[in-house]
Amino acid sequence: MKFFPSLSAMLPRLLIVLHDLAMVALVWVALRWLASAAGAPPAPSLALELAIVLSVQGLVLQMVGLYRGLWRFASLPDLGNLVRAALLGVLVIVVVLFLLDQVELVPRRVLVPYPVAVVVMLGVPRLLYRLWKDHRQSGHSADSQRVLVLGAGRTAETLLRELRSDGRYQPVGLLDDQVALRGAKVQGVPVLGTIDELPYIAQETAPRLIVIAMPSASAAEMQRVVSLCDETGLPFRTVPRLSDVLAGKPQRLELSEVRIEDLLGREPIEFGAARTAVAGKRVMVTGAGGSIGSELARQCAAAGAAELVLFERAELPLHDISAEILRDFPHLLLRLHLADCGDPTACRIALADGMDFVFHAAACKQVPLLEDHVREALRNNVGATSTLARACVQAGVGQLVFISTDKAICPINVLGASKRFAELTCQTELDGSPMALSIVRFGNVLDSAGSVVPLFRRQIAAGGPVTVTHPEVTRYFMTIPEACQLILSSLSLGREPCSVFALDMGRPVAIRELAEQMIRLSGKRPGVDIMVSYTGLRPGEKLHEILFHPAERYQRTQHPRILQAMPREFDLAAMRDNLQRLQLLLSDPAAQAALESLLRDAVPEYNPGGNGGDDPYPPELSPF
């Protein structure tokens, strides 16, 4: 029963081979006849010559890979294969004829034009077939969308080729900033003008959709293009990225929405081989169900970690990330621990077999909520960190990587102060041990739990208003994969007793502008279709964040965008006392005021209610 499906699958290839051999035979017989008509002696054994020619040329056509292509997509590479096959074929034919003492019987007027004739006779049918198929699929249905394409480069050419075979869209023109291209045609579609002329040309051509085919556009260029698209009032989409295609998205043409990452004030940073440090290593990730922890787990699994331990206190997130990793990496040794980092026994169990790297991403992170929950902030962010750090020392862990935040620099809120307290706690617990410590700081992460991006998305979907705390508030943003690559990159940038790493995140993003851009991406107009309202800064919030502390001397690392700081000096004995006080106060239900006092003592720079500095990037703090 299996024979017939395989035969039907082989039949098209077999017909192509028979076609090519028939064309080769026709070429040889025709050239022989023309040579005889011109006065050359007839072939003494035409059958032998045909057997040699067909055998040799057929093998050469197979060797050059001609039959791995499809006639439907015949192109210049196929023509190159034909030329190589014809030239190589005639050379081998001459050698075989020479060895059989037949070469003197074949006139040069047959051998010389033979390669050209073979290329023509094999190439023309392929070209005609592709033109016929393209013509059949180029028709547009009555309900096809008229599309105006921004960009006239290679991506646009590929897009138009796909649109030609997809009946849902009808391209009406191209726009490109290269003035010299005006009037030119790409795949038969004219370049009508520059992108700045989009609002006017959109009125003239009446498209129903604008497609952005500019994958190399910078964030500033994308902001300009999106603003122009917004002026037209038309929906707009972008061509799927190569990374999306490689990730397994459907091959059928699907135009995607412009992502908010495309409109950040800087290009996302590529870290190269950031994950090689964990290949073949035993790794544990705490907070593995969170935004950062789950992405760290994915990247460690993809990097080839020998063993991956997921430590998480929330059941459903732990189940979800473990199921995903086991699906994508079925051979990975994966261990799950449903527990709290503040449980010393659970930490000892998780680390019992030893570990090369521990990434501590578990923490409370909601700024306004923690202002009224100092005890939980200190219990989870400081106490649990202390417990985990002691367990790592006892288990002989190679390196502890503590995930911190830019809010720990000159903190004005409980979150920032508790994370700074936790940084000092790690240094205290690891003092005198051979274990290395890395502290990695970065700003806000797009689409993480509690990020403004999901909030704005929900508010836009509900019709608004979109709430912004203050017209002048700014933040630094990075993507979740980018943040995790930074964390993994820190492993190979230095193995000192304590290292502090920060990412140069460029210029801060105005939250008001971010909200307006997201409204535009939804096809709405800010201030008209969806209002932006200002609610005032929430407890613990400040207008601007800073990335670098004036007392920490920063130096460049092997990566030009990652900076390493010298840890600030602190009183080790006093910090040990603070940790002992913390353990006593956490057991006292009436210790709220004492815990707040302890936080101020442990973090002297903690300034509740301060603004953290009005300049988001003071020149004296910039390492550049």
Confirm whether 461 is domain-assigned.
no
Which neighbouring-strand residues pair with 338?
A: 312
Q: Which of 4-8, 57-61, 389-393, 554-558 has the lowest mean pLDDT?
A: 4-8
Residue 398 token pair: 């190679």
Position with higher pLDDT, 312 vs 443 = 312
Residue 323: CB partners within 8 Å, gap ≥ 6? Answer: none
Question: 382: number of CA atoms within 13 Å, CB side?
Answer: 33
Question: What is the C-alpha to C-alpha distance for residues 98 and 115, in angstroms, rounded to an integer?
Answer: 18
Question: Which pLDDT does position 152 carry in this prediction?
Answer: 82
Residue-wise pLDDT tens digits, 93-127: 888 888 887 777 777 777 788 888 888 888 778 77
| pTM score, whole prediction | 0.63
Distance CA 322, CA 329 (A): 10
- Average pLDDT, integer, range 321-333: 93
Gyration radius of the chain over CA positions: 34
In a domain, 175, yes or no: yes
Cβ 453 vs Cβ 260: under 8 Å: yes
Domain that holds residue 212: 145-258
Report residue 577 as tokens. 């006392």
Is the CB of residue 582 less than 8 Å from the CB of residue 601?
no
| pLDDT tens string 460-500 | 888 888 888 888 887 777 778 878 888 888 787 766 778 88
Most distant pair of Cα atoms in the chain: their distance: 117
Whole-number Å distance between alpha carbons of 60 and 65 = 9
Tally of CA atoms within 13 A in the half-sphere of 179 that contains its CB: 1
Residue 205 tokens, joined: 């051509």
pLDDT of the residue at 107: 79
Residues 233 and 319 in one domain: no
Are 405 and 364 within one domain?
A: yes
**Do 338 and 190 lie in a common domain?**
no
Q: Alpha-carbon distance 336 to 193, whole Å?
A: 58
Separation of alpha carbons 578 and 568, rounded Å: 18
Q: Does residue 363 belong to any structural domain of this protein? A: yes
How many other CB atoms sit within 10 Å of the CB of residue 551? Answer: 10
The band of 209, judged by pLDDT with boundaries at 50, 70 and 90, is confident
| CATH label of the domain that carries residue 205 | 3.40.50.720
Residues 246 and 296 in one domain: no
Q: Does 359 or 92 have the greater pLDDT score?
A: 359
152 and 131 in a common domain: no
Is position 458 within any domain?
no
Residues 6 or more apart whose CB falls under 8 angstroms from that of 307 comprise 282, 283, 333, 334, 335, 353
Same-domain pairing of 226 and 370: no
In-domain check, residue 98: yes
pLDDT at 179 over 70: yes
Same domain, 254 and 288: no
From residue 366, alpha-carbon distances to 11, 340, 461 in Å are 64, 18, 23
Asked if residue 341 lies in contact with residue 347, where contact means CB atoms within 8 angstroms, the answer is: yes
Taking residue 434's Cβ as centre, other Cβ atoms within 10 Å add up to: 9
Domain-embedded: residue 150: yes
Q: How many distinct structural domains can be found in the chain?
A: 3
Using CA atoms, how far residue 334 sits from 301, 304, 505, in Å, is: 9, 12, 34
Cis peptide before 115 (omega within 30 of 0): no
Number of neighbouring beta carbons within 10 Å of residue 402: 27
* Whether residue 118 is found in the same domain as residue 28: yes
- Strands 145-150 and 189-193: what pairing? unpaired
Residue 37 has pLDDT above 60, yes or no: yes
152 and 131 fall within a common domain: no
